[in-house]
Amino acid sequence: MLAELLNPQRIQLDADISSKKKALQELSRLFADSNSALNANLVFDALTDREKLGSTALEKGIAIPHCRITDCTRPLLAVLTLGMGIDFDARDDQPVDLICALIVPEQSTEEHLNILSALAGMLSNSDNCHRIRGCSDANQLLAFITELEANSPAYSDH
């Protein structure tokens, strides 16, 4: 299910980004560049507004920024890995270098929560995170998530 929300255009690996704001701007650009119905500035504003409610950083260098977007017609996922971690206001004060962003249509409340749960489940496994961080290109990362979901019923039931 997660692999269906992702495409190689929304995956950027080993990016040189120095701040949370710049990471959210880059994720917004990835969403807008891959979907003409989306405006990067509106996505950025929505992600930023959500961050103001509380950081979406988990622990161990991972963040899952997410929001609802009016012009979004179906859930979309973007993945950004960083060459060097950045401050994302994580509870464990660790720098974040693995960011999976999710945008969903305005009315997708339950689906939004189910996808977040699946993402958190996948990213709670340190081996999965290590493999994602080690991917050398977007297609390799997409193939890994597809394989992971095919072999793990826990990720595909959501």
Catalytic residues: 66
β-partners of residue 77 are 102
DSSP state string for 100-113: EEEEEETT-HHHHH
β-partners of residue 68 are 104
H/E stretch holding 13 reads strand 11-15
* Amino acid (one-letter) located at 96: V
CB 24 within 8 A of CB 44: yes
Q: Which pair of structure tokens corresponds to residue 80? A: 């950004």
Q: Which residue stretches of 35-73 are H helix?
A: 40-53
